[in-house]
Amino acid sequence: MASQRVVMVVDMQNGVFATERIQREQCVARINQLTAAADTVIFIQHAEAGGLEEGSDGFALLPELTQPANALYVTKTACDAFYHTTLESVLREHDIRAFVMCGCATDYCVDTTLKNGASRGYAITVAQDAHTTANRPAAQATVLIDHYNEVWRTLTVPGNPVLVKPVETILHEWQTN
């Protein structure tokens, strides 16, 4: 039996993109490729006062993002999607032990969730060309994305290495497994 193809999409919301993010169109297109090929898609959405309240336009997912009919949704209030959320129970309920991560923001929510998930034993593959962030005072977005791809690729989690692969490679592996 082939393994379940699961994609976790982090914070691809209107309000998050009120701050300009690099390569929005390319990122969304690659995420849509992944979600079209996935068995299960989990959308993680950030909620907070100031424009990201649940039910608001800012909380809504980007309109160009494809949402499969059977998608799952988890709301978070911190950078870590595991922190005081239903994510762990959703993963258990659907017997998910491995997933591909993508979304926004590379240096905050994607990074924090990835590290917590890997430490909990989840097998995580990062779609290296399907996450985005904003320019920051200390570094440009492209530098941050390259930096975090390298950090994750070399992250030390004995017995559970994080994989970092282009979307094209992930899709090819899904087709051949």
Q: How confident is the model over 17-35, as pLDDT tens digits?
A: 999 999 999 999 999 999 9
* Cα distances (Å, whole numbers) of residue 123 to 13, 44, 131: 25, 18, 18
Spell out the alpha helix ranges (H) of 38-101: 87-93
- pTM metric for this prediction: 0.96
Confidence label for 103 from pLDDT (cuts 50, 70 and 90):
very high
| DSSP 8-state code for residue 159 | T
The answer to whether 167 touches 34, Cβ cutoff 8 Å, is yes
Average the pLDDT over 127-144 and give the result: 97
Instruction: State yes or no: pLDDT of 58 exceeds 60.
Output: yes
First CA to last CA distance, the chain: 9
Nearest to 72 by CA among 5, 167, 131, 7: 7
Instruction: State yes or no: pLDDT of 2 exceeds 70.
Output: no
Domain 6-176, CATH: 3.40.50.850
